[in-house]
Amino acid sequence: MELLGGTGADLPNAVRVGERGLSRGELLRWASAVAAEIQGAPAVAVHATASPETIAAVLGGLLAGVPVVPLPPDSGPAERAHILGDSGARLVLAARGAHEPADGEPPLVPVDALPRDGALAHAEPPADATAFVLYTSGTTGAPKGVLLSRGAVAAGLDALAEAWAWTPGDTVVHGLPLFHVHGLVLGVLGPLRVGSPLVHTVRPRPEAYAAAGGSLYFGVPTVWSRVAAEPGTARALRSARLLVSGSAPLPVPVFERLAELTGQSPIERYGMTETLITVSTRAGGERRAGHVGLPLPGVRTRLAAEDGTPAAHDGETPGELQVRAPMLFDGYLNRPEATAQAFTPDGWFRTGDIAVIGADGWHRIVGRASTDLIKSGGYRIGAGEVENALLAHPAVREAAVIGTPHADLGEQVTAYVVADGATEAQLIAFVAASLSAHKRPRTVHLVESLPRNAMGKVVKTRLG
């Protein structure tokens, strides 16, 4: 199994990052020189800026069969030290001047100083060899290294290519970070495996998306919200074949606005670092606001109630989403106990996400079990449903809902809202008019902004 797949057309700008373009052949020869430099290392870290150097470094690791550890370029000293120490990386790959190793860090390999004429013949590592060690966000402790095999990556990309009718004739456009599954695995390895050109806009600016002339666009909800807020930019995407949203739920008003301005509803999909993408809307199928679609080929899903018994697939009953799939990770590096806890006794991965599945198999993600399932007065309330109700108010720009302690109810629904001119009482009444009374927020905090991570997800642990 060759991870990079078919070649496609070797265009002069088969891979373009900002103003810098490379043909596929140029990129692979550069990556081959990287591979020769790092051959035999137990693991290498890549200072993952949005640059051709990052892509060449990652591909060099894959060609050499050396596990790649992407490093967020904005990571602090403690986070970097943890990732480098835990992963066992013996080298850091980066462009000259992009990263200065701190005392005790592995030595730097200057990717931009390497020749770009490496030999293209490489022995293909086995499918079960580790391709990546990707670190989780660390919201529940120190970041854990997720072991993703070459076979898992290939299976995930092939399933998406089928679901999205993704071919070498597509041009992929995005500006997402290259240290996450979304931007790196889907957004870089996907085009290389399928053989389609890639345009990386460095940053996911709406005007850059509009000017790129692509057919397949990737973005997170924050990106699509900004696109939807600029009608001229959104209309420039009418010629695109698919607009794909992921990494967090897409608010229903943004879904509807994009459909109105671009002439097509966006594609939504669901995944996480440990699973890659497992559920998605299909290119040629129905697209429902607030839903992430159906399991990909080879994927099985189920819902578990709090007591472990099966939850009904009735479109209403929430449960923890559990997954079996060929694109699952191989465990957490150096964390056998955490790995064991992540799976049920019969081998299903516990995603920690709360979902609802309809009788027709359509999936809707309610949120994380730890932060988005609110237990109030005997009711189980999904934060996402309340957030979408708030976002339907014309004055609301952003909304995040959590459960906070309540002496009588156990937890109460509490909202943090960025709004122009609306009052707390107006917003509570607005939600009460569309949802059941027990789902309305009891408290609304009007704030100037919501805390977000690099992928645009709201960090709910920082609310309050």
In the structure encoding, which two tokens stand for residue 359, read together?
């009788």
* Residues 77-91: tens digit of each pLDDT: 888 888 999 999 999
Query: What are the tokens at 206?
Result: 């709406």
Is 268:292 a contact under the CB 8 Å cutoff?
A: yes
pLDDT digits (tens, 9 = 90+) for 361-410: 999 998 777 667 787 876 768 788 788 889 989 999 999 998 888 877 87
Contact (CB, 8 A) for 311 and 369? no
Does domain 1-370 fall under CATH 3.40.50.12780? My reply is yes
Average pLDDT over residues 257-272: 96
The candidate with the shortest Cα–Cα distance to 188, out of 325, 2, 27, is 27
Per-residue confidence band for 2, with pLDDT thresholds at 50, 70 and 90: low
CB-based contact 415:441 (threshold 8 Å): yes
Mean pLDDT score across all residues of the chain: 91
Tokens of residue 362, six digits: 């359509």
Answer yes or no: is pLDDT of 263 > 60.
Answer: yes
- Of 107-116, 134-143, 173-182, 380-389, the least confident: 134-143
Which tokens go with 441? 């927020």
Give the residue-averaged pLDDT of 427-431: 93
CATH of the structural domain 373-462, one choice from 3.30.300.30, 3.40.50.2000, 3.40.50.2300, 3.60.10.10: 3.30.300.30
Q: Is the pLDDT of residue 277 over 70?
A: yes
**CB pairs under 8 A, 24+ apart, for 80-84?**
80/105, 81/105, 82/142, 82/143, 83/45, 83/135, 83/143, 83/145, 84/45
Q: Is pLDDT of 1 > 50?
A: no
- pLDDT band per the 50, 70, 90 thresholds, residue 460: confident
Where do the CATH 3.30.300.30 domains begin and end in the chain?
A: 373-462
pLDDT at position 285 over 50: yes
Closest CA to 16 of 24, 5, 7, 6: 24
Model confidence over 22-51: pLDDT tens digits?
Answer: 999 999 999 999 999 999 999 999 999 999
The pLDDT tens digits of the residues spanning 310-368 come to 999 999 888 999 999 999 999 999 999 999 999 999 999 999 999 999 999 999 998 77
Residue intervals of the chain classified under CATH 3.40.50.12780 are: 1-370
Percent of the chain whose predicted confidence (pLDDT) is above 70: 95
Residue 94 has pLDDT above 60, yes or no: yes
CA distance to 278, 286, 321, 322, per residue, from 347 (Å): 16, 31, 13, 10
Whether the pLDDT of residue 139 is over 60: the answer is no
